[in-house]
């Protein structure tokens, strides 16, 4: 009923901007009506299975954190990670491995294809490692965005993490270090110039795999667990919605709504809906990236400062100068950096494609908002909604309207700016303080002015 009513509303709304927002909210609520599937078998022992089948990044970091919380809530006897990953971000892999080491109950990993780089670190953090036929583990050298080896500070940090993690679970720390550093030689395992990468049989030989298995059930059979139920962790509807808003296309649409909403609210002050849409879009843009660890506090502050500087330029400072340009750069930078997993503007480990997508999304969103302002502004002023809330008639002198309450003419008289005129303020003529405004220029307090016109209750002035 809700979706049908919203769709009916969508077809009857004439304003383009409102229609875009109504469609946006329709997309927001659609995923909520679908129940989360839960695959399970009946049994007394609960086994939680989580899948790591993508790159290791802030989203995967959050996924593992939520899965472990769910495992605690259902009191899972055992957690099994079904892994196939090429690796990913070092800081996120470190967070995940730490969480696995601190988990109170056993965690096993089933490597059904690859546990490379960050995946190797996560696997070593598990209590037991099982691999399928043809699987691989290792090659944990830290690389930059272009695929070359990262500076030694990153390699040293990765070696220390691999070594300490291997020691915590009783595995050979030298082998773990050799998965990172090709200069390390481990007798019988690696030669100089080779980074350790184990096949299933090699991993078994050197204590980095308990056994070759065919699947999850095979692991449970080896542990003599017979009466069990397997629960595959799946994201909730809220998490699916968060993932939906992380899509670059949706991010660009939200940027369009943020900028467009602010613009239309300035065009029709008091209406309320455009600025409400902008606030909601801002929340839906920033919160998903913040929850997934991409948006840092300083990036959000950068964006807010940028918006503040633009507002300062528009409402306080005349013209468009340093504050406006700085505000525009900070706004674009903040919106873009929120999407990038950088470390205080350190992009050495960020793929160039991610940087390009982030800045392209922001620029396209801003250009789209300008297009909506240009074409949608005309349609908005001609819409029935606008005519209901805005005064359309013009009260001209020809129709008998006047608001000139001056008792005498001041045209040609000189005075001084009693306050700053930007462009309106007050001037002093003789001992009289009068309302005045300029043709747009800025006049500082105390500067000499001359009256060039009288309109309404104010005097039009310019610099003398």
170 versus 21: which is more confidently predicted? 170
Quote the longest CA-to-CA distance of the chain. 105
> Is residue 293 within 8 Å of 282, Cβ to Cβ?
no
Q: Where are the domains of the chain?
A: 2-28+240-295+338-387, 37-234, 403-463
403-463 fold: OB fold (Dihydrolipoamide Acetyltransferase, E2P) (2.40.50)
Q: What is the pLDDT of residues 20-34, one digit of tens each?
A: 444 444 444 444 444
208 versus 293: which is more confidently predicted? 208
Phi/psi for 98 (5° steps) reads -65, -45
Residue 208 has pLDDT above 80, yes or no: yes
* Predicted pLDDT of residue 110: 97
Q: In this structure, are strands 458-463 and 448-455 parallel, antiparallel, or unpaired?
A: antiparallel
* Predicted pLDDT of residue 24: 43
Q: What is the DSSP annotation of 403-434? A: ----SS--TT-EEEESS-BSSEEEEEETTEEE
* Predicted pLDDT of residue 10: 37
Cβ partners under 8 Å of residue 294, min gap 6: 58, 338, 339, 340, 341
* Predicted pLDDT of residue 38: 42
Neighbouring CB atoms inside 10 A of 419's CB total: 16
Neighbouring CB atoms inside 10 A of 44's CB total: 10
Instruction: Give the pTM.
Output: 0.60
* Predicted pLDDT of residue 40: 42
* Predicted pLDDT of residue 67: 94
Residue 146 has pLDDT above 90, yes or no: no
Confidence of residue 382 (pLDDT cuts 50, 70, 90): low
68 versus 422: which is more confidently predicted? 68
* Predicted pLDDT of residue 36: 42
Strand, coil or helix: what is 365?
helix
Superfamily of domain 37-234: 2-enoyl-CoA Hydratase; Chain A, domain 1 (3.90.226.10)
Percent of the chain with pLDDT over 70: 76
d(CA 27, CA 138): 42
Cis peptide before 423 (omega within 30 of 0): yes
Q: What is the pLDDT of residues 321-373, one digit of tens each?
A: 787 788 878 888 888 888 777 767 776 666 676 677 778 888 887 777 777 66
Half-sphere exposure of 429 (CA within 13 A, CB side): 17
What mean pLDDT do residues 376-391 have? Answer: 57
Helix and strand numbers (H, E) in the chain are 17, 13
Residue 17 has pLDDT above 80, yes or no: no
Q: What is the pLDDT of residues 250-280, one digit of tens each?
A: 887 888 888 777 766 665 555 567 778 888 8
Residue 59 has pLDDT above 50, yes or no: yes
């Amino acid at each position: 009923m809700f979706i049908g009513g919203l769709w009916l509303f969508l077809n009857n709304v004439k304003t383009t901007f409102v229609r875009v927002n109504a469609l946006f909210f329709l997309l927001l609520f659609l995923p909520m009506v679908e129940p989360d599937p839960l695959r399970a078998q009946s049994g007394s022992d609960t086994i939680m299975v989580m899948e790591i089948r993508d790159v290791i990044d802030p989203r995967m970091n959050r996924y593992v954190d939520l899965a472990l919380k769910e495992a605690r809530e259902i009191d899972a006897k055992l957690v099994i990670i079904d892994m196939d990953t090429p690796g990913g971000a070092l800081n996120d892999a470190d967070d995940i491995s730490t969480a696995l080491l601190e988990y109170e109950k056993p965690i096993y990993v089933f490597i059904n294809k690859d546990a490379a780089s960050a995946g190797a670190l996560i696997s070593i953090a598990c209590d037991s490692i099982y691999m399928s036929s043809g699987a691989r583990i290792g090659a944990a050298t830290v690389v930059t965005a272009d695929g070359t080896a990262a500076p030694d500070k990153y390699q040293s940090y990765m070696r220390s993490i691999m070594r300490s993690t291997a020691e915590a679970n009783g595995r050979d720390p030298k082998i773990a270090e050799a998965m990172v550093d090709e200069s390390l030689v481990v007798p019988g395992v690696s030669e100089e110039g080779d980074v350790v990468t184990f096949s299933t049989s090699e991993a078994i030989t050197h204590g980095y795999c308990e056994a070759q298995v065919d699947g999850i059930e095979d692991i449970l059979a080896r542990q003599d667990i017979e009466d069990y139920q397997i629960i595959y962790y799946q994201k909730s509807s809220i998490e699916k919605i968060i993932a939906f808003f992380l899509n670059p296309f949706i991010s660009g649409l939200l940027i369009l709504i943020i900028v467009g909403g602010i613009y239309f609210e300035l065009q029709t002050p008091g209406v309320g809906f455009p600025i409400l849409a902008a606030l909601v879009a801002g929340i839906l843009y920033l919160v998903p990236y913040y929850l997934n660890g991409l948006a840092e506090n300083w990036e959000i502050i950068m964006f807010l400062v940028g918006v503040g500087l633009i507002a300062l330029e528009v409402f306080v400072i005349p013209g468009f100068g340093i504050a406006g340009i700085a505000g525009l750069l900070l706004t674009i930078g903040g919106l873009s950096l929120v999407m990038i997993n950088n470390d205080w503007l350190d992009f050495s480990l960020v793929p160039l494609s991610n940087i390009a997508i982030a800045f392209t999304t922001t620029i396209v969103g801003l250009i789209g908002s300008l297009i909506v302002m240009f074409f949608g502004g005309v349609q908005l002023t001609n819409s029935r909604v606008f005519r209901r809330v805005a005064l359309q008639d013009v009260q001209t002198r020809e129709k008998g309207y006047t608001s000139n309450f001056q008792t005498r003419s001041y045209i040609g008289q000189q005075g001084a700016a009693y306050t700053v005129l930007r462009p309106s303020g007050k001037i002093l003529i003789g001992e009289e303080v009068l309302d005045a405004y300029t043709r747009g220029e800025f006049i500082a307090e105390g500067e000499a002015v001359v009256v060039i016109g009288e309109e309404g209750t104010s005097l039009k002035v310019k610099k003398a």
